[in-house]
């Protein structure tokens, strides 16, 4: 049976037939799809061959950091010398220190200083001569030093309270703090040869000794629990106080009544210089009236030890007709120079009084006075005979001292504390 030709390539005509055209179009489409699939497989194969031809080998990065816990301002050593190029050689070490800084080296060893507290990640990138790279990281913890905050006056008058308060100090990580105050770096109180490390106080607050005027320099050290510390020096100016001095004249009197047998000695003390500047004195020793002559003979003596001031005098007979007893009188009207009123400065009222009473103008009589009475002779009364029912005598010593006492009134001048 002859099959009708539907498509003639020479005439480019299509004959009509039942279903033949549909068959021809479907076959052509399948052939085109097959070509596309083959092309896709070839392209994939070529791509795979290209990957096989890429011979780059990555290195192996190794990073060791020590120490990994440091204080602010300390240095970390970074060692990557155990890194391996795998093939070839390592040509570059790139360091990212995690604090915003970086560096490159040709050897696997470097160091870095961290200035601020916190946790940092160090990243190392190793590159070999084939262009391969590898990374390694290390974590560094930087402990923050305590922050010192001292509240204190910068200037006070001598004797005023000066509170040093460091209780507002804190640690960045919240650790507990310990305090060590050296309250005067001019003195080595612990005797270790370093005057700046004395532990004069270990509390957050302390009262500074301001009894003496002058500049006081000190140091506070604050430590946290992780080994970090901070040091802060401080300075306080201790100024003198000002006083108006007025000299007041006063009389100081003492008396003693005693009895002495012949040959006995009595002594008594007084210190008029404790009251003020000694100007003069007058001492009178009186014996009880003898019944008949001769009068008893006593001696009065004064010794001011600090000045080596020595005086002595014997009693003189009294007048029997006027019933006057034997007596001795001792006086000195020029012991010291009179005090001058005026303005004075000192660390305290007590110190100023001591200064005024120990100056060259108060050169005599400020120390202890030692009085002594000696019964030189108490013979029997002549008309009684050999037997004397009273072999001694009663006596009275009265001492009157004129002193000038400094009266002080403190004067406030300006503002002396902050």
Closest-CA residue to 182 (of 145, 208, 162): 208
Residue 338, in any domain of the structure: yes
Residue 59, in any domain of the structure: no
Residue 32: its H or E element: helix 20-53
The overall average pLDDT reported for the chain is 85
Residue 262, in any domain of the structure: yes
Final residue before a domain boundary, out of 194, 220, 239: 239
Q: What is the pLDDT of residues 105-130, one digit of tens each?
A: 999 999 999 999 999 999 999 999 99
Same domain, 214 and 255: no
Structural domain tally of the chain?
4
> What is the C-alpha separation between 175 and 207, in angstroms, rounded?
25
Same domain, 216 and 308: no
Task: Read off the tokens for 71.
Answer: 């204080």
pLDDT at 16: 42
Query: Over its length of 418 residues, how does the chain's per-residue pLDDT go in tens digits?
Result: 444 444 444 444 334 444 444 344 445 556 655 665 556 555 555 444 444 455 789 999 999 999 999 999 999 999 999 999 999 999 999 999 999 999 999 999 999 999 999 999 999 999 999 999 999 999 999 999 999 999 999 999 999 999 999 999 999 999 999 999 999 998 888 888 887 888 899 999 999 999 999 999 999 999 999 999 999 999 999 999 999 999 999 999 999 999 998 889 999 999 998 889 999 999 999 998 766 566 789 999 999 998 889 999 999 987 766 678 889 999 999 999 998 999 999 999 999 998 888 888 777 888 999 999 999 887 655 555 555 555 778 999 999 999 999 999 999 876 544 4
Same domain, 406 and 270: yes
* 3-state SS assignment for residue 280: strand
Domain extent for 69:
64-143
69-90 b/e (C-beta count within 10 Å ≥ 16 → b): ebbbeeebebbbeebebeeeeb
pLDDT at 396: 95
Q: Could you tell me the end-to-end alpha-carbon distance of the chain, in angstroms, rounded to an integer?
A: 131
CATH of the domain at 390: 2.60.120.380
Same domain, 167 and 137: no
Residue 416, in any domain of the structure: no
Residue 80, in any domain of the structure: yes
Read off the pTM.
Answer: 0.62
pLDDT at 4: 46
Residues 6+ apart with CB under 8 A from 240: 157, 158, 213, 345, 346, 347
Do the beta carbons of residue 250 and residue 275 sit within 8 Å?
yes
Final residue before a domain boundary, out of 220, 239, 258: 239
Same domain, 178 and 249: no
């Amino acid at each position: 049976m002859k099959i009708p030709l539907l498509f003639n390539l020479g005439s480019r005509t299509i004959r009509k037939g039942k279903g033949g055209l549909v068959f021809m179009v479907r076959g052509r489409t399948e052939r085109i799809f097959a070509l596309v699939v083959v092309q896709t497989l070839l392209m994939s194969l070529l791509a795979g061959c290209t990957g096989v031809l890429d011979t780059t080998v990555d290195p192996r990065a190794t990073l060791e950091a020590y120490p990994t816990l440091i204080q602010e301002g300390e240095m970390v050593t970074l060692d990557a010398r155990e890194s391996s190029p795998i093939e070839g050689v390592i040509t570059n070490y790139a360091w990212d220190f995690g604090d915003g800084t970086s560096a490159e080296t040709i050897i696997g060893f470097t160091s870095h200083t961290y200035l601020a507290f916190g946790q940092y990640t160090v990243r190392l990138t190793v590159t070999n001569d084939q262009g391969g790279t590898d990374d390694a990281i290390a974590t560094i913890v930087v402990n923050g030093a305590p922050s010192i905050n001292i509240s204190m006056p910068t200037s006070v008058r001598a004797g005023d309270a000066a509170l040093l308060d460091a209780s507002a100090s804190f640690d960045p990580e919240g650790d507990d703090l310990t305090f060590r105050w050296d309250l005067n770096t001019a003195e080595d109180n612990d005797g270790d040869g370093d005057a700046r490390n004395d532990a004069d106080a270990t509390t957050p607050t302390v009262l500074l000794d301001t009894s003496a005027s002058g500049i006081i320099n000190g140091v506070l050290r604050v430590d946290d629990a992780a080994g970090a510390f901070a040091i802060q020096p401080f300075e306080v100016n201790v100024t003198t106080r000002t006083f108006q001095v007025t000299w007041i004249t006063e009389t100081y009197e003492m008396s003693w009544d005693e009895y002495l047998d012949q040959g006995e000695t009595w002594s008594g003390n007084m210190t008029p210089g404790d009251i003020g500047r000694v100007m003069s004195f007058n001492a009178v020793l009186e014996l009880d009236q003898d019944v008949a002559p001769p009068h008893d003979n006593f001696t009065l003596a004064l010794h001011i030890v600090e000045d080596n001031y020595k005086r002595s005098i014997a009693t003189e007979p009294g007048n029997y007709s006027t019933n006057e007893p034997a007596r001795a009188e001792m006086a000195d009207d020029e012991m010291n120079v009179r005090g001058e009123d005026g303005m004075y400065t000192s660390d305290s009222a007590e110190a100023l009084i001591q200064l005024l009473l120990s100056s060259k103008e108060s050169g005599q009589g400020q120390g202890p006075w030692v009085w002594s009475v000696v019964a030189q002779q108490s013979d029997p009364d002549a008309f009684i005979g050999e037997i004397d029912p009273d072999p001694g005598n009663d006596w009275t010593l009265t001492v009157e001292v004129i002193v000038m006492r400094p009266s002080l009134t403190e004067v406030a001048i300006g503002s002396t504390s902050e």
